[in-house]
Chains A and B, each alone.
Chain A
Amino acid sequence: MTYLDSASLQPFWQRLRHLSWPWRITWIYLIFFLLLPIVALVVRASTLDASEIWRIATDPVALSTYNVTFLTALAAASLNGLVGLMVAWVLVRYEFPGKRYLDAIIDLPFAMPTAVAGLTLATIYSSNGWIGSLLDPLGIKVSFTRLGVLVAMVYISLPFVVRTVQPVLQEMEAEIEEAAWSLGASDWQTFRRVILPPLLPALLTGVAMGFSRAVGEYGSVVIIAGNIPFQDLIAPVLIFQRLEQFDYAGATVIGTVLLLISLLSLLLINVLQSLGKRYG
């Protein structure tokens, strides 16, 4: 960010003139489409009074949206950490009919527009939908509740764990497990001491990526949730509502909180990936 303070702005443009075309395009594009918007948000937030920021950021409605957003995203990412590991294991280690198709549909949540995902999940998990009607007699309501938020977040974060664990598992040799096993280790010991440790960085990276994606998700959640404060209102939807009410300060502060969480999870993902490279 040293480029951007006014004293060094002049040398920056001079340096830009001496750069090759690919560099010029890269910098101009990044500054115009990415850095300028980020700076606008951060500067806008910093012009607010500190007590004002604190009041907006810790408003009861805002606090409840952090609770719903982060805890539900954490639950979704953790669930996918567990099941995603099983999916990756099944796809790498077992042969069975239809495996290719199972492998192919994992990427569907990446490719499916989130509005479509939200629409169809809301329908089949509603009380007269395919799955919702089976859960309704048990007293479980999914659509328009926090459970619906969880379902949408599970949907969009599922591919991350599978696709980060799969290649690592592929490279692991089955001989090591066989060696552990023939030396007297139980199945559980083999899994915990031999299989899990090398997979752990990739697994945690996938969980962190899924979490980060789920925290920022808007399209599918806004459709499946009832968007009621203190129940199933998530932070991105609150930002949207604040903007609709022309409450720019409110939107800015909550947006900045989300941005900071995104940057922190990005940092965490990078640390996990470099750990994975060191031990992988």
Chain B
Amino acid sequence: MANPVVNPNLTRSNASPTKRISPSADWRKWGLIGFVTLYLALIILLPALNVFVQAFNGGIAGFLATFTSRPFLNAVGLTVIVALISVPLNTIFGLSAAVAIAHKTFPGRTLLISIIDLPFSISPVVAGLMLVLLYGSRGWFGPALEAGGIKVIFALPGMVMATIFVTMPFIAREVLPALEENGTDQEEAAHTLGASSWQTFWRVTLPSIKWSLLYGLILCNARAMGEFGAVAVVSGNISGKTQTLPLYVEDAYIQYNTQSAYAAAVLLACLAIVTLVLKHFLERNPGVHRRGD
């Protein structure tokens, strides 16, 4: 220990049998853990708990009253319908885009992937605005569609398009890396053995990416059912007609009907928690790429 460059801390800690863990490091460790836990509790955990506490604050009867009210049931139904249309469409798109892009190199490939990712960076309100400019009564196609009796804005088609816009990247971005990792060997083998492209896709490609696809589906569905901004712009938020569950939550809150707002919020919070639990289990699959957003 005569070496002059040796850290004095090191020589000091060498004296104790447990090396490296000095009291100051221990203090720092628990200080950091405490601070981080407090921060997450204030920002994330308490708000989540509050949803459940508030929903049952007025007793179980008030909670149930919301669950049997007409506007609420309409909102639930509409939310499910919007998700049932937009999620399958996005699945077809996501699979097509991933299969088309995965094993090819072409100029503009990175640009194309960035374009597919674009909806994640555009404000949902701006997405809704774009649809109003296209299909609204003063929009490009609005007057022609209205003449034909088709209503897009303040109606279901607009709400579906808004939802598709904001959830477009989920499945493509999940399946693409999985396909790239799998390589093309199995597909080529299937082809050589006489399988058609469709058979190859259905029997070889799809089973190999099923977990990634499911992962993408779950995240896409959670966002589709929970989307607020884009749908709010195009729907007109008409109670009982074009009101999805997230819109119902805001509307009830604005009208000082806090209990109803929280009863509906509980349902959406449960959806979020189920999504997280499923996401957690799917992440154990080696093919699944954990991602944020």
Q: Is the interface of B mostly helix, strand, loop or mixed?
A: helix
- Kindly supply a per-residue 1/0 record for chain B positions 281-293, scoring 1 wherever the CB is within 8 Å of any chain A CB and 0 otherwise: 0000000001111
Report B131-181 residues with CB < 8 Å from chain A CB. Answer: 131-134, 136, 138-140, 161, 164-165, 168
Interface size classification for chain B: 35 or more
Return the contact of B268 from the options A87, A116, A164 (Cβ within 8 A).
A116
Shortest distance between the CB of B284 and any CB in chain A (Å): 13
Q: Are B5 and A223 in contact (CB under 8 A)?
A: no
* Separation of A83 and B32 alpha carbons in the complex (Å): 10
Shortest distance between the CB of B85 and any CB in chain A (Å): 12
Q: Are B126 and A112 in contact (CB under 8 A)?
A: no
Report A145-191 residues with CB < 8 Å from chain B CB. Answer: 151, 154-155, 158-160, 163-164, 181-185
A113 interface residue (CB < 8 Å to B):
yes
* Separation of A182 and B7 alpha carbons in the complex (Å): 6
Q: Which residue of B lies closest to A110 (CB)?
A: B293
How many A-B residue pairs lie within 8 Å, measured between CB atoms? 265
B87 interface residue (CB < 8 Å to A):
no
Report B1-48 residues with CB < 8 Å from chain A CB. Answer: 5-7, 9-10, 29, 32-33, 35-37, 39-40, 42-48
Q: Are A262 and B123 in contact (CB under 8 A)?
A: yes
B119 interface residue (CB < 8 Å to A):
yes
Q: Which residue of B lies closest to A25 (CB)?
A: B96
Q: Are A29 and B93 in contact (CB under 8 A)?
A: yes
A70 interface residue (CB < 8 Å to B):
no
Contact A34 to B92, CB < 8 A, known contacts A114-B246, A183-B7, A262-B123: no
- Kindly supply a per-residue 1/0 record for chain A positions 28-42, scoring 1 wherever the CB is within 8 Å of any chain B CB and 0 otherwise: 011001111110110
Return the contact of B45 from the options A90, A105, A121, A219 (Cβ within 8 A).
A105
- Kindly supply a per-residue 1/0 record for chain A positions 15-27, scoring 1 wherever the CB is within 8 Å of any chain B CB and 0 otherwise: 0000011110110
Interface size classification for chain A: 35 or more
Q: Which residues of chain A have a CB within 8 Å of any CB of chain B?
A: 20-23, 25-26, 29-30, 33-38, 40-41, 44, 83, 86-87, 89-90, 94, 96, 102, 104-124, 129-131, 151, 154-155, 158-160, 163-164, 181-185, 209, 212-213, 215-219, 222-223, 236-237, 239-240, 243, 246, 248, 251-252, 255, 258-259, 262-263, 265-266, 270
Apart from A163-B290, A209-B293, what are 19 other A-B pairs with CB-CB below 8 Å? A25-B93, A30-B97, A34-B118, A35-B115, A40-B139, A44-B133, A87-B39, A105-B48, A107-B279, A114-B229, A115-B226, A116-B51, A116-B272, A119-B250, A123-B50, A130-B50, A182-B10, A236-B229, A251-B129
* 12 pairs, A vs B, C-beta closer than 8 Å: A29-B92, A30-B115, A33-B164, A33-B168, A105-B48, A106-B40, A107-B279, A112-B269, A115-B247, A239-B125, A240-B232, A248-B136
